[in-house]
């Protein structure tokens, strides 16, 4: 029986084999990004604890794979309803440590509950199939089995919903999961895992680690007992983890960065396109892998689009997550401010026009102005590196061919956006764009039932939908003859 993570307000413990580990002497700091003040500490697990987690995960897997799908389903449905019951409390924790406005945090908890519920329902629909045979003594079966203990690494931008997609799919499939939560936003991860424990997930089936990410992955990824790695984060780290996973012939899901192009054509309703893109760009302070970053605008509407987009960007209200008028919070960490500043300076120095924003806001915390850069040359760093912050690039294009060439120029291929009323153009672009997801006219992506993921350097594998469940299953073919 797993207990409750008490006094999580000051120390975010790890959960290993059903024990919440409070070792404040070995804690890492947790900072409120809106004030730069220390909130508390998170656990820093040592090598022995990481190995112990794997041993528990092996035992947890042996047990959980034998639990009826209907029962696993019930547990997940219960976890989903507990997340919703605790929505207020968890959202407040998330806002305090990650900085996103409370309304966004409430939405993230709701989405985490939704995806947990969806996988709870889907757990009952993991079917195999029988192949047709002429000989009635023969049975040819394709069976689906859980892959084994999973190591899941989740980042700080959506510390709950990224965890929910991995944990719910793995548990639905019958796997045990070791979650490496975000050290930047650990307290909401503890509350998230607590909901699963309270719903009846047994000891060892779900575990939570915090510590030195590189050390944890160095042990978990090559460990022979860990059968699957799922990582969300940056391309360089993903590339490195995928290489180690490949060396050890492990299945892996890599949800990495993006540099999403948005193609805005002159026939699109301008005001609707601008509003949809302003809200998409500055949500979570732009710290979103599918954030629209290169806004490519057909030349004849470029001046009007740039003017209106910049007006609305400048009107985004930046402030503390708990101030109800805040549209955008701080960046998660001071290091991200420096990255923003460098990207803006480099672009301006290479000839880009800084239309609005462009600097740190003079107050406590890690606030950066909603920023618009126009006519950014291709050799600027920001045209090639994912900014992962509140900076939009607005550049003109002459025709569809040129827009597609620019959209596909980068090695990233996560999300892309199209704004047009032409159905024929929509069909052409949905085929031409090299991306895992295409959103047309602001239609949201990232639903529990839809596959989420990228192509090229944005990674491989999918989260969400039946594709996301498949990532935790292996196929066994059984050829049987009755004697």
Per CB under 6 A, residues contacting ligand NAD are 153, 155-157, 182, 213-214, 217, 232-234, 237, 241, 255-257, 289, 335, 386, 388
Whether the CB-CB separation of 392 and 313 falls below 8 Å is answered with yes
- Residue closer to ligand NAD by CB (options 173, 332) is 332
* Residue of 175, 188, 189, 289 with catalytic role: 289
The minimum distance between CB 62 and ligand NAD, in angstroms, equals 26
From 49, 255, 463, 471, the catalytic residue: 255
**Between 229 and 429, whose beta carbon lies closer to ligand NAD?**
229
Whether residue 289 lies in the annotated active site:
yes
> Least distance from C-beta 126 to ligand NAD, angstroms?
27
In whole angstroms, the minimum distance from the beta carbon of 256 to ligand NAD comes to 6
Nearest-5° angle of CA 106, CA 108, CA 111? Answer: 110
- Smallest gap from Cβ 141 to ligand NAD, in A, equals 38
Minimum gap (Å) between residue 167 Cβ and ligand NAD: 16
- Between 255 and 298, name the residue whose CB sits nearer to ligand NAD: 255
Smallest separation (angstroms) from ligand NAD to the CB of 342:
12
CB closer to ligand NAD out of 160 and 274? 160
Q: In terms of CB distance, is 174 or 387 closer to ligand NAD? A: 387
Question: 170 vs 340, which CB is nearer to ligand NAD?
Answer: 340
Catalytic residues: 255, 289
């Amino acid at each position: 029986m797993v207990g409750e993570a008490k006094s999580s307000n000051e120390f975010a413990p790890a959960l290993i084999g059903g024990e919440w580990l409070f070792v404040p002497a070995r804690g890492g700091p947790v900072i409120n990004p809106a004030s730069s003040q220390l909130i508390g500490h998170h656990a820093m697990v040592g090598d022995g604890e990481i190995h112990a987690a794997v041993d528990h995960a092996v035992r947890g897997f042996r047990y959980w794979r034998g639990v009826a799908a209907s029962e696993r389903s019930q547990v997940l449905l219960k976890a989903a309803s507990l997340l919703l019951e605790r929505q207020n409390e968890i959202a407040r924790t998330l806002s305090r440590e990650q900085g996103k406005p409370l309304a966004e945090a409430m939405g993230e908890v709701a989405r985490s509950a939704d995806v947990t519920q969806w996988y709870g329902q889907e757990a009952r629909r993991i079917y195999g199939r029988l192949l047709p045979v002429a000989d009635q003594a023969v049975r040819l079966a394709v069976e689906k089995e859980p892959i084994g203990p999973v190591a899941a690494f989740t980042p700080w931008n959506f510390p709950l919903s990224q965890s929910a997609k991995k944990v719910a799919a793995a548990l639905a499939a019958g796997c045990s999961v070791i979650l490496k939560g975000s050290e930047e936003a650990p307290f909401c991860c503890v509350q998230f895992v607590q909901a699963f424990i309270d719903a009846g997930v047994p000891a060892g089936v779900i575990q939570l680690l915090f510590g030195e990410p590189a050390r944890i992955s160095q042990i978990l990824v090559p460990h022979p007992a860990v059968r699957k790695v799922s990582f969300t984060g940056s391309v360089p780290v993903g590339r490195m983890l995928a290489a180690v996973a490949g060396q050890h012939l492990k299945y892996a899901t890599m949800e990495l960065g993006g540099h999403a192009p948005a193609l805005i054509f002159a026939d699109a309703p301008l005001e609707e396109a601008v509003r949809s893109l302003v809200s998409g760009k500055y949500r979570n302070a732009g710290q979103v892998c599918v954030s629209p970053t290169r806004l490519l605008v057909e030349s004849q509407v470029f001046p009007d689009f740039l003017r209106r987009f910049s007006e609305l960007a400048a009107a985004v209200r930046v402030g503390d997550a708990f101030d109800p008028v805040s549209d955008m919070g701080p960046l998660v960490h001071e290091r991200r401010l420096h990255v923003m500043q460098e990207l803006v300076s480099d672009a301006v120095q290479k000839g880009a026009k800084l239309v609005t924003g462009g600097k740190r806001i003079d107050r406590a915390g890690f606030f950066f102005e909603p920023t618009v850069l126009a006519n950014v040359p291709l050799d600027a760093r920001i045209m090639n590196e994912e900014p992962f912050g509140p900076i939009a690039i607005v550049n003109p294009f002459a025709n569809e061919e040129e827009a597609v060439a620019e959209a596909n120029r980068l090695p990233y291929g996560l999300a892309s956006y199209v704004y047009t009323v032409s159905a024929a153009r929509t069909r052409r672009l949905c085929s031409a764009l090299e991306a895992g997801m295409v959103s047309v006219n602001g239609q949201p992506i990232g639903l529990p039932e839809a596959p989420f993921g990228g192509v090229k350097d944005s990674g491989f594998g999918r989260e969400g939908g039946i594709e996301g469940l498949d990532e935790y299953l292996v196929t066994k073919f059984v050829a049987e003859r009755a004697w």
